[in-house]
Amino acid sequence: MQRLAYEHAALRRVARLVARESPAPEIFAAVAREVGRLVAVEAIRIVRYEDGGAAEVVASWGRLETALPVGAHVRPGHNTVVSTVRRTGRPARVDDYERVTAVSPSSMCEPGIRSAVGTPIVVEGRLWGVMVAASMQPEPLPDGSEEQLRQFTELVATAISNIQARSDLAASRARIVAATDEERRRVVRDLHDGAQQRLVHTIITLKLARRALERGDGDGVELIDEALRQAERANRELRELAHGILPSELTHGGLGAGAEALAQRMPLPVEVRVTVGRLPRPVEASAYFLVAEALTNVAKHSRADRAEVTARIEEGTLQVEVCDDGVGGARLGGGLLGLADRLAVLDGRLDVESPADGGTRVAATIPLAD
């Protein structure tokens, strides 16, 4: 009973650190310390898996702390707890380490360790690392040790997930700010280099025309014609600029009309099946830009023969998909990453499925406000 009370108290202490969003090293160290005292072993390691079979020690507690300190990079032997958990994704134990042959001096089989158990740390469905409890006693660690570790690894996984979410949110906000600033600079540049120059030319020409008319000079009509041509060109450039911000087809006809206009500009057949009416402006614009970006990628990279755009409402949620029969291999990056950020503002989600030689599916889910 006393042991169970201590276990619950230890879990509560770690949970408070996680709830306070404490830094990861502080949480890892606290978990290692609490688990070491609870399980009564000589060493606790929290290890993060790296590419190529290597691993990094992110927490180390106990008598062997200096042997593999925090920050050490190791390559575990084939039959160690660390490598077995990585291979299977399940808890593992070694009851007699004398039978395990390390592949290198840094195999995490420190001299004196007789047995160990390890429990995987799974973050959002992905194997992130492992927590290992190691004993120097001749008897193997008792049954149930894995379960004691598991409760703490779940807290570690929650902490890592929270930290990653905060990091992703900060990166998303930074990308949105950068994209907004870049778009603003583009609009200013296009206005300055295009319509603004035309309008300045128009003003100067009209002033010259007025002087010519005041003098009774025959050049006045010709100057007015020139000013009119410049004004018309400025008007066209302003329309084109406005089209690049929010196209008239979308503004006047909604998502269906906007998607049809995009399809007509494509160099390959695009079937449009949009069964939605007018939508809230932010949702409609985000859905349109998703279709535009996805179709642009189809034209540039997919080598597809055809594509399809669909949009429908299911249970209060807008579902938008752009599919093609191209070479696949697309990734969530570039313009699509910016769209994912934009959708996140609307509590939406962007998914990209693009197996090699299997075509590409870009899908967005956007909840509609009641």
Closest listed residue to residue 360, CA positions, set 282, 267, 293: 293
Question: Going by C-beta distance under 8 Å and a sequence separation of 6 or more, which residues neighbour residue 251?
Answer: none
273 - beta bridge partners?
310
Rounded Cα–Cα distance for residues 192 and 187 (Å): 8
Q: Where do runs of H (alpha helix) occur along 119-268?
A: 145-193, 195-215, 220-245, 248-264
Spatial separation of the C-alpha atoms in residues 68 and 60, rounded to whole Å = 7
More confident residue, 186 or 34: 34
Phi, psi angle pair for 317, to nearest 5°: -130, 135
Above 70 in pLDDT, residue 102? no
Q: How many CB atoms lie within 10 A of CB 299?
A: 17
Greatest pairwise CA separation for the chain in angstroms: 115
Average pLDDT over residues 135-158: 80
CA 342 to CA 173: how far, in whole Å? 10
In single-letter form, the type of residue at position 343 comes to: L
Residue 4: pLDDT band with limits 50, 70, 90: low
The reply to whether the predicted model has a pTM over 0.85 is no
CB 86: neighbour CB atoms within 10 A?
20
Nearest to 118 by CA among 138, 148, 75: 148
Pairwise CA distance, residues 169 & 344, whole Å = 9
Q: Is the CB of residue 152 less than 8 Å from the CB of residue 15?
A: no
Rounded to whole angstroms, how far apart are CA atoms 360 and 300? 13
pLDDT at 331 (0 to 100): 80
**Residues 135 and 151: beta-carbon distance below 8 Å:** no
Identify whether the C-beta of residue 31 lies closer than 8 Å to the C-beta of residue 157: no
Give per-residue pLDDT as tens, 43-70.
888 888 888 888 888 888 887 666 678 8
Report the candidate in 12, 34, 40 with the shortest Cα–Cα distance to residue 144. 40
Q: What is the mean pLDDT of the chain?
A: 79
| Helix H or strand E encompassing 270 | strand 270-274
How many Cα neighbours within 13 Å face the side chain of 370? 0
Alpha-carbon dihedral 257, 259, 261, 262, rounded to 10 degrees = 170
Do 350 and 364 meet the contact criterion of CB atoms below 8 Å apart?
yes
Q: Tell which CATH architecture fits domain 2-168.
A: 2-Layer Sandwich (3.30)
With beta carbons less than 8 A apart as the criterion, state whether 368 and 313 touch: yes
Question: Residue 311 and residue 365: Cα distance in Å, rounded?
Answer: 10
Distance of CA 345 to the CA centre of its chain: 13
The one-letter amino acid code at 63 reads: R
Distance (Å, whole) CA 119 – CA 131: 5
pLDDT digits (tens, 9 = 90+) for 183-232: 566 666 666 666 777 777 788 888 888 888 888 777 778 888 888 887 88
Q: Of 202, 216, 288, 213, whose CA–CA distance to 252 is shortest?
A: 288
For residues 109 and 92, which has the higher predicted lDDT (pLDDT)?
A: 92
Q: Which CATH number fits domain 248-367: 3.20.20.70, 1.10.10.10, 3.40.190.10, 3.30.565.10?
A: 3.30.565.10
Quickly count: other Cβ atoms within 10 Å of residue 288's Cβ.
25
Would you kindly state where each structural domain of the chain is located, as residue ranges? 2-168, 169-245, 248-367
Phi first, then psi: give them for residue 78, nearest 5 degrees: -65, -40
pLDDT-derived band of residue 326, with 50, 70 and 90 as boundaries? very high
What pLDDT is recorded for position 365?
93
